[in-house]
Structure 1
């Protein structure tokens, strides 16, 4: 497979940087040109990625809603690993 054969990455309009309680997150919601399923990826300020893609979301709005539900149910700590939580006192 050459670079010309690579599928295009399509980013949702929901893709954005957010600050929640002083914590910065880059939220990306995207799919490829060959797969209709949307993927939710959240990167924290340490560069740690949390990816939710199994199963993929049927719509980008559903992926954003999943991000909001994770925040509501687990809080921001859901997007940090144990070492980062200890460092932040979460």
Structure 2
């Protein structure tokens, strides 16, 4: 009989809330107990998630660097939908 228990979610120590140019984001980097790949999840002020997991990151630090790179190249716009950007006038 197979074990039907849900896998544990393991959060990276890099998981944190970040304030960038007055915009607060909840950045979560996590993996499950059954998968070695890390996932980057960024929630904006509207509750919209931007999730990067394909392919999964081999290390939590790589996920964090990808977050920093997106901020550097696209700014906070990277984490808002077009409709949200219009509301914020970004």
- TM-score grouping bracket, smaller chain normalisation: over 0.9
Following TM superposition, where does structure 1 have runs of at least 4 consecutive aligned residues deviating by more than 6 angstroms? none
Q: CA deviation at 1:26?
A: 0.0
Number of residues paired by the alignment?
88
Could you tell me which residue of structure 2 aligns to residue 41 of structure 1?
A: 41
Query: Which ranges of structure 2 fall in alignment gaps of 5 or more residues?
Result: none
Structure 1 partner of 2:25: 25
Q: CA deviation at 1:74?
A: 0.8
> How far does residue 88 in structure 1 lie from its aligned partner after superposition?
0.5
Aligned CA RMSD, in angstroms, stands at: 1.2
Q: Normalising to structure 1: TM-score of the pair?
A: 0.95
1:68 and 1:49 map into 2 onto residues whose CA distance is 16
TM-score after normalising by structure 2: 0.95
Q: Distance in 2 between matches of 1:46 and 1:68?
A: 21
- Superposed displacement of residue 38, structure 1: 0.1
Q: Structure 1 stretches of 5 or more lacking a match?
A: none
